[in-house]
């Protein structure tokens, strides 16, 4: 129930059918230029975000709005909005064609994030699968 409520508030209409897979483990590095901001991991259906030690020791780049405490390890069953918004609208013809051609599960947010989430027009960060 709580998960459904979070999905309602966190996801746009085009992302409401996305689900977190429970049988997939995946990791990403979030970069700003050469600075490792942190890592995003999915394990056993739980998304975890933690800042890197490199990020914690610098003062030029501020913490992300969705993750204000640099000393906290964030965990959630739903993918955080900062990362959901990196997945493009699935109704775009070019995105639909890519999903069909590459046989991507259009409900699997981990697969979609891995394929489409590396760059975003909404922020300067790079999200690299590792």
Rounded-to-integer distance, Cα 86 and Cα 97, Å: 18
Instruction: Give pTM, 2 decimals.
Output: 0.84
Domain range summary for the chain, segments of one domain joined by + = 2-129
36: left (phi over 0), alpha (psi -120 to 50) or beta: beta
Average pLDDT, rounded, for the chain: 89
Structure confidence by residue, pLDDT tens digits, 54-71: 999 999 999 999 999 999
Per-residue pLDDT band at 121 (split at 50, 70, 90): confident
Task: Find residue 51's DSSP bridge partners.
Answer: 38
For the segment 23-50, the average pLDDT, to the nearest whole number, is: 96
Hunting for tokens 């979070």 — which residue is that? Answer: 6
Q: Given pLDDT bands bounded at 50, 70 and 90, which one contains residue 14?
A: low
Give residues with Cβ within 8 angstroms of 116, minimum separation 6: 86, 87, 88, 95, 98
The per-residue pLDDT for range 77-117, each reduced to its tens digit, is 999 999 999 999 888 999 999 999 999 999 999 999 999 99
Q: Give the pLDDT confidence score for residue 120 in this predicted structure.
A: 86
Q: What angle do CA 67, 69, 85 make, to 5 degrees?
A: 5
User: Rounded to an integer, what distance in angstroms lies between the CA atom of residue 43 and that of residue 48?
Assistant: 8
């Amino acid at each position: 129930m709580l998960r459904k409520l979070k999905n309602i508030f966190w996801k746009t209409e085009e992302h409401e059918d996305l689900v977190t897979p429970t049988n997939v483990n995946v990791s990403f590095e979030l970069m700003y230029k050469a600075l490792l901001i942190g890592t995003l991991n999915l394990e056993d259906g739980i998304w975890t975000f933690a800042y890197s030690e490199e990020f914690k020791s610098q003062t030029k780049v501020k913490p992300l709005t969705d993750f204000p405490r640099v000393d906290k390890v964030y965990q959630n069953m739903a993918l955080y909005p900062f990362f959901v918004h990196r997945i493009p609208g699935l109704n775009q013809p070019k995105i639909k064609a890519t999903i069909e051609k590459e046989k991507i599960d259009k409900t699997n947010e981990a697969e979609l994030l891995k394929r489409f989430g590396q760059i975003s027009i909404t922020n300067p960060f790079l999200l690299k699968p590792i």
